[in-house]
């Protein structure tokens, strides 16, 4: 993909389907004047909308709309960009796109025009220095945001909030690296270096600031990825009722017949702006029913993949030997799951009073809604969510991992710097590795393969 970034590209930039307005976008390192003349019949003033007919090769109008020309470098991609805003019918837009390809293909300078690949317009913005990689990813995150909080946080990241934080860390790290590298040239001064340059103090302050950015980034990753929650337990403990109560809609069938739910029923809700992807699963039990057995197997697969497992119990059956035996079997199998991911819930509190329960367990009634608010708060606590005073910026798991690697190298740097005598060559290397890890976030040090993965998840036309 990167080897072809000098080709002119074109695509429909609006979502598939019918709409009032649709946009066809063309971007090219080469001048688009020949294409403008072929489509519009005249030249266009830069960054000024012109209402005119879009012409077919025969001269007849395909449609009438607005044409905008953005000469390089003052465009989204940093290249010459032409946008045609027409009526949003799929056929009209396809005709316009085909006409752009036809007209450009007949021009020597633009003959290599092709359809844009997913995310290629934004990729060119990154390659041409209009956006860094974190901002480019925020474009897709803003489009994909499923909650208002996620959208606002993506907007902050797009405006450079995350990049600014990373840049401040990078600048402090560069200053520390310069001091270490300079001292390496004067070995006789190594012993006094740490005290004179306050290297340990600088390193401690840098680590403290990094911890703050890492915390905010974890919160941003939760806003983007959401939390995968699985409802698990024996049949008829109220899993489907709880899903309906949390979603506020009758999504799952609820009956007193065991085994009603045979496959996952999923719904995404939000709590304080954090998306929760909740899955109701088949009741966990041994069964001769082939279909139900498949559903139970899928339930265990979902449990392994969940961020939080809500293990539901039926208060009206607590103490019954057969019920307790089945619960014990489920507990034994859940022993392979990280205990921090399991939350014990005792349902049907409206029917019977809860007595001695395990530490940390919650009681609720999916029928009346009692205890649901406490459950919502616990779910957020379970994954470490909290409101950041400075405001969240949306982030991705790769950002979190890069910051964690940065911190690991800073910890190793601290260990090296406290040795007697300090091994400054090793200290310089750990600081360099920390610098490289930070650079991965904004794209300063990023493999082409990673760029391909990131931009391939974008929609075509963006």
Is residue 211 marked as binding? no
Is residue 421 marked as binding? no
Is residue 16 marked as binding? no
Is residue 244 marked as binding? no
Give the dihedral of Cα atoms 380, 215, 150, 160; nearest 10 deg: 170
Is residue 462 marked as binding? yes
Classify 141 as helix, strand or coil: helix
DSSP letters, 368-429, are T-TTHHHHHHHHHHHTT----TT------HHHHHHHHHHHHHHHHHHHHHTSSS--HHHHHH
Is residue 90 marked as binding? no
Is residue 240 marked as binding? yes
Is residue 282 marked as binding? yes
DSSP letter (8 states) at residue 131: S
Is residue 261 marked as binding? yes
Is residue 260 marked as binding? yes
Is residue 198 marked as binding? no
Is residue 406 marked as binding? no
Element (H, E) at 347: strand 342-347
Is residue 239 marked as binding? yes
Is residue 349 marked as binding? yes
Is residue 77 marked as binding? no
Q: What are phi and psi of 176, to 5 degrees?
A: -70, -40
Is residue 111 marked as binding? no
Write 40-48 long-range contacts (CB < 8 A, 24+).
Answer: 40/67, 44/68, 44/69, 45/69, 46/70, 46/71, 46/74, 47/74
Where do we find the tokens 């899903």?
A: 243
Is residue 25 marked as binding? yes
Is residue 256 marked as binding? yes
Is residue 279 marked as binding? no
The neighbour count for residue 457, using CB atoms within 10 Å, is 11
Is residue 62 marked as binding? no
Is residue 264 marked as binding? no
Is residue 281 marked as binding? yes
Is residue 259 marked as binding? yes
Residue 146's Cβ-count burial label (10 Å; 0-12, 13-18, 19+) is middle
Is residue 45 marked as binding? no
Is residue 287 marked as binding? no
What is the edge-to-edge ordering of all strands in the sheet holding 9-12? 50-55, 61-70, 80-88, 19-28, 9-12, 114-115
Which residues participate in the annotated binding site for K(+)?
Answer: 236, 255, 257, 260
Binding-site residues: 25, 83, 130, 236-241, 255-261, 280-283, 347-350, 462
Binding residues for Mg(2+): 240, 261
Which amino acids are annotated as binding site for GTP, given as ranges?
236-241, 255-261, 280-283, 347-350
Binding-site residue numbers for (6S)-5-formyl-5,6,7,8-tetrahydrofolate are: 25, 83, 130, 462
């Amino acid at each position: 993909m990167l080897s072809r970034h000098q080709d002119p590209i074109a695509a429909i930039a609006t979502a598939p389907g019918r709409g009032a307005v649709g946009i066809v976008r063309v971007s090219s390192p080469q001048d688009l004047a020949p294409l403008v003349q072929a489509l519009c019949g005249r030249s266009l003033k830069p960054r000024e909308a012109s209402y005119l007919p879009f012409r077919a090769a025969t001269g007849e109008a395909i449609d009438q709309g607005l044409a905008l020309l953005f000469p390089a470098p003052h465009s989204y991609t940093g290249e010459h960009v032409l946008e045609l805003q027409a009526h949003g019918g799929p056929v009209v837009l396809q005709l316009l796109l085909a006409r752009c390809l036809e007209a450009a293909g007949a021009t020597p300078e633009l003959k290599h025009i092709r359809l844009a690949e997913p995310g290629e317009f934004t990729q060119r913005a990154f390659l041409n220095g209009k956006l860094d990689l974190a901002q480019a990813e925020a474009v897709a995150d803003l489009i994909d945001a499923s909650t208002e909080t996620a959208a606002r946080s993506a907007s902050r990241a797009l405006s450079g909030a995350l990049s600014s934080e990373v840049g401040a860390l990078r600048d402090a790290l560069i200053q520390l690296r310069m001091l270490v590298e300079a001292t390496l040239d004067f070995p006789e001064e190594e012993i006094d270096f740490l005290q004179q340059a306050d290297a340990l103090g600088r390193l401690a302050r840098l680590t403290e600031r990094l911890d703050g950015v890492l915390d905010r980034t974890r919160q941003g990753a939760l806003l983007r990825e959401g939390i995968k929650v699985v409802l698990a337990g024996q049949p008829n403990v109220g899993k489907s009722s709880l899903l309906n109560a949390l979603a506020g809609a009758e999504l799952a069938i609820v009956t007193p017949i065991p085994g009603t739910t045979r496959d996952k029923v999923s719904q995404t809700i939000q709590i304080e702006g954090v998306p929760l992807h909740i899955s109701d699963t088949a009741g966990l039990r041994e069964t001769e029913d082939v279909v139900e057995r498949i559903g139970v197997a899928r339930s265990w697969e979902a449990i392994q993949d969940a961020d939080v497992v809500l293990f539901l119990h039926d208060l009206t059956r607590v103490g019954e030997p057969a019920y307790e035996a089945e619960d014990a079997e489920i507990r034994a199998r859940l022993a392979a799951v990280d205990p921090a991911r399991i939350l014990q819930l005792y349902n049907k509190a409206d029917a019977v009073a809860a007595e001695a329960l395990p530490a940390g367990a919650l009681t609720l009634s999916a029928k009346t809604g009692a205890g649901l608010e406490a459950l919502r708060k616990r779910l957020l606590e379970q994954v470490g969510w909290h409101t950041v005073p400075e405001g969240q910026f949306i982030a991705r798991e790769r950002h979190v991992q890069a910051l964690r690697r940065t911190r690991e190298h800073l910890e190793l740097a601290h260990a090296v710097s406290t040795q007697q005598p300090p091994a400054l060559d090793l200290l310089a290397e750990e600081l360099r590795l920390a610098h490289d890890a930070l650079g991965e976030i904004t794209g300063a040090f990023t493999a082409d393969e990673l760029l391909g993965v990131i931009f391939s998840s974008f929609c075509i036309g963006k």
